Amino acid sequence: MEFSAPLKSNSTKIMLLGSGELGKEVAIEAQRLGLEVIAIDRYQNAPAHHVAHRAHVVDMQNKEAVLEIVRREKPDFILPEIEAISIDALFEAEKEGFHVIPNAEAVNKTMNRKNIRVFAAEELGLKTSPYVFVKSYEELVAAGEKVGYPCVIKPVMSSSGHGQSIARKPEDMQNSWEIAKEARGDASELIVEGFVDFDYEITMLTARNEKETVFCEPIGHEQRDGDYVFSWQPMQMSEVAKQKAQEIAKTITDGLGGRGIFGVELFIKGDEVYFSEVSPRPHDTGMVTLITQSQSEFALHLRAVLGLPLGFAFYGDGASAAYKAENESYAPVVDVNESIFDEKSFVRVFSKPESHKGRRMAVVLVFDTVQKALSKARELVTKIQDC
């Protein structure tokens, strides 16, 4: 593998579509290998903008705007970092010869809960919760009867828990309908899923390229309002469940194809493993790998993109805690207690230019046995404030 210098006629260029905290870490890894980094987001001074050679503000939902910047910059690899991107632009870019990671069809399938669910359950035969797709309130009520209560209602196009709710009885459906309507994305269609009474849920980070597929140790996580708050690695699993989890991860990532890392989300009950969803990019719960692995999920993503070997070592247990802003500010300050800067813990601050209540601003990382790391992460994150 030859590594050229950035900003030369022969440089290797990556374009990040979405420049949040995950993109920022990918950009830093790219800088370490001498790649030229072009970071795109819909607002100025997004996290990855600060560590890129060029930063552009583009409406990523606008097909022509995305294609214009792609044609202008001519990246070797286009790395979608978020879901809200014009899929038509990605298909067109691919047709014009650009390399979309992992590929435009995989992005298309995974950005829509209906597409990925039908693909996983009906084409690949993976075990999932029972589900029904609905477009009207009447269909929603009928779906509740079919999948049973409690059930989980989600817009087919949404992320981070937006528009999502649990209905425990038929009378809850009216409220679920209202919540879904307010969600961002195309809320016209909903998926109604039977509630899986899982023992725990994991992310199986899976990196692949044409030569190999590797799995990270399973990551356990805790969600609040559809958003991750704590994650730890490894999640203790039975050998049978771990094996099944890897098999499902291999099947779905082979099915989607292409190069890159995937966050495969799974529910585990006893030795049973249910496929939930998959993101074809680094996963927020995987930030814990910044402290547990010789190659973080971001480094592995880049290696997979470049077609490099995917070998890495698991250094040891760890945990992460997301810090979310309490305040609205146009000049946010993340106030970190110095005790966090310890031999076994540190913080990564995302450098977001504005804060609003609930916005993820930083992550605490702790290296220790899982139990100790998790309880320390829980404690340390309370020692951060913002203003």
Q: Which positions from 273 through 302 interact with ligand AMP, judged by CB under 6 A? A: 276-277
CB of residue 6 to ligand AMP, shortest distance in Å: 36
Q: Which is nearer to ligand AMP, 131 or 323 (CB)?
A: 131
Choose which of 6, 185, 226, 255 interacts with ligand AMP (CB under 6 A): 226
Residues 111-150: x where in contact with ligand AMP by CB under 6 A, - otherwise, as a string: ------------------x---------------------
Respond yes or no: is residue 307 known to be catalytic: no
Q: Beta strands 190-194 and 200-208: pairing type?
A: unpaired
CA angle 69, 75, 81 (to 5 degrees): 75
Selected catalytic residue, list 88, 272, 277, 326 = 277
β-bridge partners, 17: 40, 80
User: Which range touches ligand AMP (CB under 6 A), out of 77-85, 188-196, 211-219, 250-258?
Assistant: 188-196
What 245-252 contacts at long range (C-beta under 8 Å, 24+ apart), as own/partner pairs, is: 245/202, 245/204, 245/218, 245/273, 246/204, 246/215, 248/126, 248/127, 248/204, 248/273, 248/275, 249/204, 249/206, 249/215, 250/206, 250/213, 251/124, 251/126, 252/120, 252/124, 252/126, 252/278
116 versus 370: smaller Cβ distance to ligand AMP: 116
148 by Cβ neighbours in 10 Å (0-12 / 13-18 / 19+) ranks as: exposed
* Token duo for residue 89: 């632009």
Which of 83, 265, 297, 386 is flagged as catalytic? 265
SS (H, E, C) 132-189: EEECCHHHHHHHHHHHCCCEEEEECCCCCCCCCEEECCHHHHHHHHHHHHCCCCCCCC
Q: Which is nearer to ligand AMP, 144 or 332 (CB)?
A: 144
Q: Which of 161, 185, 255, 316 is catalytic?
A: 161
Known catalytic residue: 284?
yes
* Choice among 284, 297, 317, 368 that is catalytic: 284
Judge whether 161 counts as a catalytic residue: yes
Tell which one of 29, 265, 284, 386 touches ligand AMP (CB under 6 A).
Answer: 265
Find the binder of ligand AMP among 195, 215, 314, 346 (CB under 6 A). 195
Q: Which is nearer to ligand AMP, 151 or 334 (CB)?
A: 151
- 226 or 353: CB nearest ligand AMP: 226
Strand 77-80 and strand 54-57: pairing?
Answer: unpaired
Sign of CA dihedral 152, 153, 157, 159: negative
CA distance 89 to 80: 12
| 12 labelled catalytic | no
Catalytic residue among 117, 281, 303, 360: 360
The verdict on whether 178 is a catalytic residue reads: no
Please identify, using beta-carbon distances, which residue of 104 and 157 lies nearer to ligand AMP: 157
Q: 150 or 316: whose CB is closer to ligand AMP?
A: 150
Nearest Cα to 320, choosing from 22, 100, 113, 49?
22
Chain positions 51 to 110 lying near ligand AMP, rule: CB under 6 A, are: none
200 binds ligand AMP (CB under 6 A): no
| Options 29, 193, 284, 297; binder of ligand AMP; rule CB under 6 A | 193
Rounded to the nearest 5 degrees, what angle is found at the Cα of 56, between the Cα atoms of 183 and 64?
65
From 356, 287, 291, select the one nearest 318 (Cα to Cα).
291
> Is the CB of residue 114 less than 8 Å from the CB of residue 158?
no
User: Would the CA dihedral through 44, 45, 46, 50 be positive or negative?
Assistant: positive
Of 33, 57, 84, 196, which one interacts with ligand AMP (CB under 6 A)? 196
For residue 212, indicate whether it is catalytic: no
Active site residues: 159, 161, 265, 277, 284-285, 360
Task: Please give the residue ranges that form the binding site for ligand AMP (CB under 6 A).
Answer: 129, 152, 154, 161, 164, 193, 195-196, 201, 223, 226, 265, 276-277
